[in-house]
C-alpha cells in the first residue's frame, strides 16, 4: 500500500515549469524539476490533465485520451519524464476525466455529425421538452442550463460542466470499453494510477424528471462562486447543491462501474485509484471500489481550529473501511491557496506552517499542491483579459444579465476565479520567476511575490524558510513510523487553542502539539522522558512536565 504512506504532490502542468520558453509549462519542464521534487521528499506526482485539449477548462476538456497536449510535448517526452521519475523512486499518477470529453474530441464530432452516426449514443442527446425548450430544468454546475441546443440535428446534448464538455453516456458499454482502453494505454506504459475527476457526475437519472427545487441556474452559480465566502450560509449552499443529487449526481449505478474499474486496474500490480469525492461509499468494502478518496472537509472551512481538526480526524478514522484510505488536502487547482485561505491577514506566514504541520503529521495521505511549499498566495486577476478560467466567463454573462456591474464582477473574479491558484510556479527571483525566460508573456501572470522571497531558489538557501519547514517535516514523516502509519488519539480534547495528539505504532509513540494562536499556551504533559523530534520553537530537549508552547509552535516528541 505505497499510496497510503506516500506524500503526494500535485502538478498543474501548464504552470509548473516551461522548458521551451513559450510561456506555458510542459512535460520536459517537469522532468527538469524532478531532482528538486526528490530533494523535497515527495513520493508521488499527480499530474493534472496533460492530454490534447482546446484548454477551455485548462485540460479538463480532453480531446484525445492517449496522447500529450502538443503544447506540453510529445509522448516520448512523457515516457522520459515517467522513467526519470521512476528512476528517482517517484511514482506518477494521471488525472482521468471520465464524465465528459471536449466538444472537439473526435467522438463528439462524430456523435454530433448526425442522429444515426454510430457514436450518437456515446453522449447524452435528447429531444426538446414539451414546450419546445430544454428537455428539463437541470442546470450545469458552472452556471446556466445543462442542455445545449444543436441546430443541425435538432436535439439538445447534456453537459454537467461547460458546454464545451459534453457528458459521455456511460450506459453505453462501448463508452466504458473505450475509456478503460484509454486507461490501459497509460497503465501499460507504467503509470502508477489515476486521480478520477468528478466521478459523482458520471450517471444521470434516465427518467430526466425536472428538479423540484425552487432554485434556478443563477442561484446555483452564485452559490458555487460565492457560497464558501459568506454570502450564503453553509446550510443554504448545501441545499442548493442537494438538488443535483439523485438526478444529476451520485446515482447508485456508479458503484458497479467503480467495481469494474477496480477489477481492471487490479490486473496490474499495485496501481492506485483515488477519486475526487469525499463520499465513503466509493471505497466499497475497502477492496472492491476505489483505493482512496479525499478528505475535503478541511478545505471547505475558512479557518482551521483545533476543534475542527479533531472532529475531522475522528470522523475519517472511524469511517474508512479496512483496506481503503483517504487523502488530506488543503488546496488544489480549484481552490484558494492555503496561505491565503487559512491566513488571517496578520499571521499568514505562521498559519501556513500550522497548515503544513497538519498535513504532514495527521493520519491520512498528504496531497500537497505545487507552490504550497513556498507559500504562494492567491493571485487577483486585474482585468477581464487576464482571466483564463472559462467558468469565470459564464459567471460574467450570468451576472451581467442579473444587473451586476462589470466593476463588481471583476472584483468577484479577483477573489473567486480559479485563476487565483494557477499562476506559474516561482522558481527564483528573475523576471518571470524562472518559470519562463524573462521576455516571454506567461499564460497567466506570475504573482509578484516571487520578488519578495516567495521562490524556491531563495528559500532553499534559507534554513528557516517555509520550504525547509516542509522538507524537514516530509522527511520526518517518512522516517518516523508512528507519524507515517501510527494510530491517532487525542491528548487534550478540550483545548481550542492548541491541538495535541498521539501517533502510535507497536514500537513507537509520538506526541504532536500545534499551537494555533499567537499567544504562549501552557501545556501539561509528561514531557520529561521524551525526545524532541521537531520543534519550530528551537527546543532541543525538555526536562519539565509543563511547558509553554510558543506562539504557533509545532512540537513533536517521541516517548521513550
Ligand atoms: C473537477 C476538476 C475541475 C474541473 C471539473 C470538470 O472538479 O477538479 O478543475 O473543472 O472537474 O472536469
Ligand atoms: Ca512550454
DSSP string, 15-57: GT--SSSSSS--HHHHHHTHHHHHHHT--EEEEPP-S----TT
The per-residue pLDDT for 125 is 98
> What distance in Å separates the CA atoms of residue 275 and residue 78, rounded to the nearest whole number?
23
Cα 13 to middle of ligand 2, angstroms: 10
Which ligand approaches the C-alpha of residue 29 most closely? 2
Q: What is the best residue among 58, 161, 329, 393 to mutate for testing ligand 1's pocket, by most ligand atoms within 8 Å of CB?
A: 161
- Nearest protein CA to atom 11 of ligand 1, as residue: 198
Task: Please give the average per-residue pLDDT across 303-313, as a whole number.
Answer: 96
Exposed / middle / buried, residue 91 (Cβ in 10 Å: 0-12, 13-18, 19+): buried
The per-residue pLDDT for 59 is 98
Query: Residue 214: pLDDT above 70?
Result: no
- Tell me what the pLDDT averaged over the chain comes to: 94
Cα 71 to middle of ligand 2, angstroms: 6
Lowest mean pLDDT: which of 263-267, 380-384, 389-393? 389-393
Strands (E), 413-553: 487-490, 498-504, 509-515, 521-524, 530-535, 546-549
Task: Please give the average per-residue pLDDT across 322-333, as a whole number.
Answer: 97
Cα 4 to middle of ligand 1, angstroms: 24
Query: Residue 230: pLDDT above 50?
Result: no
pLDDT-based confidence at 229, cuts 50/70/90? very low
- The residues carrying an active-site annotation are 197, 276
Q: Is the CB of 60 under 6 A from ligand 1?
A: yes
Query: Residue 232: pLDDT above 50?
Result: yes
Query: Which atom, in ligand 1's list, is nearest to the CA of 334?
Result: 9
Query: Residue 553: pLDDT above 70?
Result: yes
Query: Residue 34: pLDDT above 60?
Result: yes
Cα 418 to middle of ligand 2, angstroms: 21
- Nearest protein CA to atom 12 of ligand 1, as residue: 60
Query: Which atom, in ligand 1's list, is nearest to the CA of 391?
Result: 10
Residues with CB under 5 A from ligand 2 (ion): 18, 20, 22, 24, 26
Cα 486 to middle of ligand 1, angstroms: 33
pLDDT-based confidence at 302, cuts 50/70/90? confident
Q: Is the CB of 392 under 6 A from ligand 1?
A: no
Q: Is the CB of 197 under 6 A from ligand 1?
A: yes
Query: Residue 304: pLDDT above 70?
Result: yes
Query: Residue 148: pLDDT above 50?
Result: yes
The per-residue pLDDT for 241 is 64
Task: Please give the average per-residue pLDDT across 208-219, as a whole number.
Answer: 71
Which DSSP symbol is given to 320?
S
**H or E segment at 273?**
strand 272-275
The structure's pTM equals 0.96
Q: Is the CB of 553 under 6 A from ligand 1?
A: no
What are the distances in angstroms from CA 359 to CA 6, 192, 288?
A: 12, 23, 27
Q: Is the CB of 58 under 6 A from ligand 1?
A: no
The per-residue pLDDT for 402 is 81
pLDDT-based confidence at 216, cuts 50/70/90? low
Query: Residue 139: pLDDT above 90?
Result: no
Q: How many helices (H) and strands (E) does the chain have?
A: 17, 18
Give the three-class secondary structure for 443.
coil
Grid coordinates belonging to 258: 467503480
Query: Residue 409: pLDDT above 50?
Result: yes
The per-residue pLDDT for 452 is 97
In DSSP terms, which residues pair with 275 in a beta bridge? Answer: 196, 293
Task: Please give the average per-residue pLDDT across 461-488, as a whole number.
Answer: 98
How much of the chain exceeds pLDDT 90, in percent?
86
The per-residue pLDDT for 231 is 53
φ/ψ of residue 557, rounded to 5: -120, 155
Contacts of 225-234 with CB under 8 Å at 24 or more apart are 225/395, 225/412, 225/416, 226/412, 226/416, 228/300, 228/302, 229/302, 229/415, 229/416, 230/302
> What distance in Å separates the CA atoms of residue 380 and residue 415, rounded to the nearest whole number?
6
Could you give the angle at which helices 217-226 and 406-416 cross, rounded to 10 degrees? 50
Amino acid at each position: 500500500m505505497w499510496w497510503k504512506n506516500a506524500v503526494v504532490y500535485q502538478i498543474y502542468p501548464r504552470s509548473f515549469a516551461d522548458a521551451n520558453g513559450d510561456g506555458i509549462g510542459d512535460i520536459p519542464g517537469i522532468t527538469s524539476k524532478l531532482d528538486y521534487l526528490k530533494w523535497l521528499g515527495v513520493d508521488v506526482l499527480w499530474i493534472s490533465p496533460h492530454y490534447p485539449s482546446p484548454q477551455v477548462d485548462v485540460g479538463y476538456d480532453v480531446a484525445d485520451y492517449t496522447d500529450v497536449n502538443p503544447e506540453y510535448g510529445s509522448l516520448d517526452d512523457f515516457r522520459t519524464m515517467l522513467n526519470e521519475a521512476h528512476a528517482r523512486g517517484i511514482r506518477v499518477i494521471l488525472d482521468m476525466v471520465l464524465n465528459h470529453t471536449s466538444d472537439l474530441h473526435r467522438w463528439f464530432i462524430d456523435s454530433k455529425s448526425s442522429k444515426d452516426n454510430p457514436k450518437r449514443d456515446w453522449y447524452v442527446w435528447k429531444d426538446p421538452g414539451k414546450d419546445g425548450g430544454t428537455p428539463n430544468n437541470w442546470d450545469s454546475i458552472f452556471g446556466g442550463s445543462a442542455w445545449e441546443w444543436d441546430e443541425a440535428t435538432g436535439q439538445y446534448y447534456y453537459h454537467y460542466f461547460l458546454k464545451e464538455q459534453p457528458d459521455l453516456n456511460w450506459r453505453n458499454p462501448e463508452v466504458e470499453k473505450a475509456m478503460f482502453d484509454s486507461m490501459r494505454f497509460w497503465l501499460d506504459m507504467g503509470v502508477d494510477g489515476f486521480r478520477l475527476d468528478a466521478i459523482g457526475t458520471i450517471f444521470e437519472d434516465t427518467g430526466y424528471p425536472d428538479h423540484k427545487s425552487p432554485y434556478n441556474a443563477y442561484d446555483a452559480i452564485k452559490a458555487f462562486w460565492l457560497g464558501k465566502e459568506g454570502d450564503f450560509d453553509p446550510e443554504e449552499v448545501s441545499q442548493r447543491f442537494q438538488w443535483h443529487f439523485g438526478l444529476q449526481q451520485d446515482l447508485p449505478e456508479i458503484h458497479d462501474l467503480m467495481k469494474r474499474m477496480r477489477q481492471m486496474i487490479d490486473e496490474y500490480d499495485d496501481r492506485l485509484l483515488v477519486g475526487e469525492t469525499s463520499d465513503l461509499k466509493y471505497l466499497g468494502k475497502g477492496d472492491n471500489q476505489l483505493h482512496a478518496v479525499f478528505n475535503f472537509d478541511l478545505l471547505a472551512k475558512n479557518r482551521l481550529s483545533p476543534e475542527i481538526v479533531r472532529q475531522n480526524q475522528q470522523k475519517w478514522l472511524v469511517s474508512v473501511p479496512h483496506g481503503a484510505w483517504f487523502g488530506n488536502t488543503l488546496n488544489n487547482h480549484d481552490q484558494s491557496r492555503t496561505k491565503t485561505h487559512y491566513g488571517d491577514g496578520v499571521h499568514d506566514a505562521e498559519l501556513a506552517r500550522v497548515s503544513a504541520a497538519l498535513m504532514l503529521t495527521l493520519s491520512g495521505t498528504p496531497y500537497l499542491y505545487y507552490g504550497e511549499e513556498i507559500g504562494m498566495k492567491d493571485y487577483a486577476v486585474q482585468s477581464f483579459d487576464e482571466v483564463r478560467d472559462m467558468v469565470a466567463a459564464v459567471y460574467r454573462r450570468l451576472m451581467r444579465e442579473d444587473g451586476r456591474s462589470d466593476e463588481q464582477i471583476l472584483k468577484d473574479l479577483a477573489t473567486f476565479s480559479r485563476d487565483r491558484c494557477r499562476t506559474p510556479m516561482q522558481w527564483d527571483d528573475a523576471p518571470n520567476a524562472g518559470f519562463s525566460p524573462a521576455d516571454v508573456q506567461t499564460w497567466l501572470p506570475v504573482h509578484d511575490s516571487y520578488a519578495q522571497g516567495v521562490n524556491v531558489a531563495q528559500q532553499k538557501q534559507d534554513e528557516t524558510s517555509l520550504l525547509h519547514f516542509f522538507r524537514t517535516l516530509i522527511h520526518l514523516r517518512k522516517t518516523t513510523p508512528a507519524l507515517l502509519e501510527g494510530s491517532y488519539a487525542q491528548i487534550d480534547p478540550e483545548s481550542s487553542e492548541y491541538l495535541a495528539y498521539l501517533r502510535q505504532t507497536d514500537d513507537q509513540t509520538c506526541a504532536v502539539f500545534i499551537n494555533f494562536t499567537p499567544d504562549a499556551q501552557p501545556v501539561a504533559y509528561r514531557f520529561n522522558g521524551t525526545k524532541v523530534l521537531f520543534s519550530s520553537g528551537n527546543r532541543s530537549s525538555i526536562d519539565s512536565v509543563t511547558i509553554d508552547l510558543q506562539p504557533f509552535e509545532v512540537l513533536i516528541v517521541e516517548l521513550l
